[in-house]
A = this chain, B = another copy of it.
């Protein structure tokens, strides 16, 4: 059949773009934004700088492309986890919170990269609002989930959902850092679980 296309021997543009982003994720996580070079990024995924420069106009453009990809993935991941956790009936606030927290990415590269984004934003005011807006969505997801699951648990809700969401986020970040620095000292999720215990402490927090 003349219609038959020869098997594709060359990857599509989008595919190589993704590969470059993969390399950038690794490189940025390992060496930071300024510490990563084109060569460094390309080597990791077996491409040449030609592909890099053909796909991205500048380092900043790549950076923001990667940023969008990461945020989108996190967002859908959290939304999915929330929907899933909310769908199982009869789960307690405690269960839900821990399940939700467990859905957070405890991934080294991911954490380092998103921290990199954060510090980039802190250092470039123009970026700050953009980043804050994205972070706001994450906070909104957390708040929404909390509001749903804790509807009756007024002793929690009364403390202010937004602040609780921020606290969860803060502990997650700080805890990730400590966990990566001293893996044997801090288990992933440990501090967050502890925080949840504190928040949900029954009227009589048992002392043993």
Contact = CB atoms under 8 A, between A and B. Distances in A.
User: How many copies, total?
Assistant: 2
Interface stretch (A85-93, A141-149, A171-179): A171-179
23 contacts: A31-B34, A32-B33, A32-B34, A33-B35, A112-B119, A115-B115, A122-B180, A128-B181, A135-B178, A135-B181, A159-B198, A159-B207, A163-B190, A166-B191, A167-B194, A169-B174, A170-B171, A173-B173, A173-B174, A173-B177, A174-B174, A203-B203, A203-B206
Interface string A174-208: 11011011100110001100110111010111111
Which of A34, A122, A135, A163 counts the most B-chain CB atoms under 10 A from its CB?
Answer: A122
Interface of A: 30-35, 112, 115, 118-119, 121-123, 128, 131-132, 135, 154-155, 158-159, 163, 166-167, 169-175, 177-178, 180-182, 185-186, 190-191, 194-195, 197-199, 201, 203-208
Nearest to A34: B34
A10 to B, nearest CB: 35
A171 B198 CA distance: 14
A30 B123 contact: yes
Contact of A155 (B122, B135, B169, B207): B207
